[in-house]
């Protein structure tokens, strides 16, 4: 099965692991637009952001010129607990598909958080600890980010307060218990603990919550509690910076064996995995050194890249966060109730949005029944039960490999397998029972949502 020279799974040695994160913004001619104060419409600087974020993380957020940022030794030590993650040649999938394509995936699920989220969680917790803070607050939807942050905080002995979207809190009690195992306090959102939570509950008594609402609560809690700051698991520039470790490892492993991907595929919700996976490849592309085809895959039910507007928008429902310029469906957009899994945020990383706007990458959307077909096919031959999120990338990787079968091209495909689906068996069960459905928002629904985009100078 395995090639004699190239291992079936490539693990870097400790010496080969990245010592710096790579900041793709340094190589971008058109930098991502700055965050704006939602009240004044003015760009937010270091001091403006200090009540919300840790100092060092703000510096990383605002730094669009330093190319390589050293990974502190303590974080590299933590990374050793679960990194390097393997780069795997999908021999069995190739054989099943009878494709001449060579398929590789970077698997980030071999840690208890079950996903790549831990890469940024430990970094953010580390800087909070270093600043002498007592704790951090955050929101979580499906629960992967909350789990990752809980693990990082347990390791560093930092308090962790998670606002979990109420519908997930109730439907995913096991995720909640994993977080509790790591000592986090988990509150269903909206809650009566915050003003914004009370307000939303008063207006919508039966609401099951949303990510945007949980963000508002977490930010309010952090800014109102001495010694606390807010942390976020995706979307932000700093998160993409930390997640660059995925792409750096993948590229180092490929370089070591002379493998060059033709196509790089990642699922995209807020953009943390995709941004991390593609970063060093995108760097080469931006510097004109090498070309790669890069594809973002999003759910057809939450299509921010493929059907959203490139505009300044609110990051949260409560409108307490800065405005970000991004591809967005409008901050009031919530995917239809039959949408399973994550990738449900209304917006997209500003960095990726700018790169997409400038033509450096493609985007495509897929319906979830086709996603779960791919997930099951992958699980059966590759032995890993993939998360629904990751399976968006699997779907498109399979589709690309099947195109190669038609044309006879021996393309090399790299995709990001962000995590495992152990906590998503309700969705798998629906799929097995033929009860899973698809929904694509209508143009009219999106127009209605776009109507609430904020008025910002220079934005129509």
Decide: is 257 part of the binding site for a second copy (CB under 8 A): no
Instruction: State the minimum distance, in angstroms, from the CB of residue 118 to a second copy.
Output: 8
Decide: is 439 part of the binding site for a second copy (CB under 8 A): no
Decide: is 151 part of the binding site for a second copy (CB under 8 A): yes
Judged by CB under 8 A, the residue of 30, 42, 70, 80 near a second copy is 80
Do residues 245 and 71 make contact, with C-beta atoms less than 8 angstroms apart? yes
Q: What is the sign of the dihedral through the CA atoms of 252, 13, 114 and 318?
A: negative
For residues 452 and 376, what is the distance between their CA atoms, to the nearest angstrom? Answer: 39
- In whole angstroms, what separates CA 136 from the centre of its chain? 19
For residues 70 and 318, what is the distance between their CA atoms, to the nearest angstrom? Answer: 35
Decide: is 22 part of the binding site for a second copy (CB under 8 A): no
For residues 283 and 24, what is the distance between their CA atoms, to the nearest angstrom? Answer: 6
Structure tokens given for 423: 């906590």
The site that binds a second copy (CB under 8 A) totals a number of residues, namely 44
Decide: is 19 part of the binding site for a second copy (CB under 8 A): no
Residue 248: strand, helix, or coil? helix
Decide: is 98 part of the binding site for a second copy (CB under 8 A): no
Do residues 382 and 90 make contact, with C-beta atoms less than 8 angstroms apart? yes
Residue 50: strand, helix, or coil? coil
Q: At what angle do helices 272-286 and 237-256 cross, to 10 degrees?
A: 60
Q: Which is nearer to a second copy, 81 or 440 (CB)?
A: 81
Do residues 339 and 298 make contact, with C-beta atoms less than 8 angstroms apart? no
Residue 91: strand, helix, or coil? helix
Show the site string, 275-304: x = touches a second copy by CB under 8 A, - = not: ------------------------------
Decide: is 171 part of the binding site for a second copy (CB under 8 A): no
Instruction: State the minimum distance, in angstroms, from the CB of residue 1 to a second copy.
Output: 4
Do residues 348 and 33 make contact, with C-beta atoms less than 8 angstroms apart? no
Instruction: State the minimum distance, in angstroms, from the CB of residue 369 to a second copy.
Output: 15
Show the site string, 361-400: x = touches a second copy by CB under 8 A, - = not: ---------------x--xxxxxxx---------------
Q: Which is nearer to a second copy, 39 or 383 (CB)?
A: 383
Q: Which stretch binds a second copy (CB under 8 A): 40-48, 76-84, 338-346, 443-451?
A: 76-84
Secondary structure E strands in 227-268: 228-230, 263-267
Instruction: State the minimum distance, in angstroms, from the CB of residue 178 to a second copy.
Output: 6
**Site for a second copy, rule CB under 8 A:** 1-2, 7-9, 11, 13-14, 77, 80-82, 92, 110-112, 114, 151, 154-155, 173-174, 177-178, 180-183, 376, 379-385, 420, 422-423, 425-426, 428-429, 432
């Amino acid at each position: 099965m395995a090639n004699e020279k190239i291992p079936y799974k490539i693990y870097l040695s400790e010496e080969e692991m990245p010592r710096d994160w790579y900041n793709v913004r340094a190589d971008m001619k058109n930098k991502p637009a700055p965050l704006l104060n939602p009240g004044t419409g003015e760009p937010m600087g270091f001091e403006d952001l200090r009540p919300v974020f840790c100092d060092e993380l703000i510096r990383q957020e605002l730094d669009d010129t330093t190319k390589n940022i050293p990974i502190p030794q303590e974080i590299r030590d933590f990374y050793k607990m679960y990194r390097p993650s393997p780069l795997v040649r999908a021999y069995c999938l190739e054989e099943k598909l009878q494709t001449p394509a060579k398929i590789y995936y970077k698997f980030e699920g071999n840690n208890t958080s079950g996903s790549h989220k831990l890469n940024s969680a430990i970094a953010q917790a580390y800087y909070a600890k270093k600043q002498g803070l007592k704790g951090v607050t955050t929101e979580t939807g499906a629960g992967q980010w909350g789990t990752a942050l809980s693990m990082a905080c347990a390791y560093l002995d930092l308090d962790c307060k998670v606002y979990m979207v109420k519908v997930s809190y109730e439907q995913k009690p096991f995720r909640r218990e994993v977080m509790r195992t790591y000592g986090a306090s988990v509150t269903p959102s909206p809650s009566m603990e915050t003003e914004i939570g009370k307000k939303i509950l008063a207006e919508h008594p039966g609401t099951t919550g949303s990510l945007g609402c949980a963000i508002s609560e977490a930010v309010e809690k952090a800014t109102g509690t001495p010694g606390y700051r807010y942390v976020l698991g995706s979307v932000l520039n700093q998160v993409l910076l930390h997640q660059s470790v995925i792409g750096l490892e993948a590229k180092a492993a490929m370089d070591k064996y002379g493998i060059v991907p033709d196509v790089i595929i990642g699922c995209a919700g807020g953009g943390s995995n995709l941004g991390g996976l593609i970063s060093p490849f995108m760097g080469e592309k931006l510097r004109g050194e090498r070309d790669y085809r890069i594809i973002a895959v999003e759910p057809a039910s939450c299509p921010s890249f493929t059907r959203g507007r490139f505009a300044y928008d609110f990051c949260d429902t409560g409108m307490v966060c800065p405005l970000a310029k991004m591809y967005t469906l409008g901050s009031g957009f919530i995917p239809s109730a039959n949408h399973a899994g994550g990738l449900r945020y209304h917006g997209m990383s500003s960095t990726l949005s700018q790169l997409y706007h400038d033509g450096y990458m493609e985007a495509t959307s897929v319906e979830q029944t086709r996603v779960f077909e791919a997930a099951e096919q992958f699980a059966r031959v590759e032995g890993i039960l993939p998360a629904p999120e990751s399976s968006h990338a699997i779907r498109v990787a399979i589709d690309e490999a099947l195109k190669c079968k038609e044309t006879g091209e021996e393309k090399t495909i790299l995709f990001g397998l962000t995590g495992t689906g152990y906590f998503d068996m309700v969705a798998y069960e629906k799929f097995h029972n033929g009860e899973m459905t698809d929904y694509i928002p209508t143009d009219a629904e999106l127009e209605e949502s776009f109507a609430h985009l904020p008025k910002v100078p220079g934005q129509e």
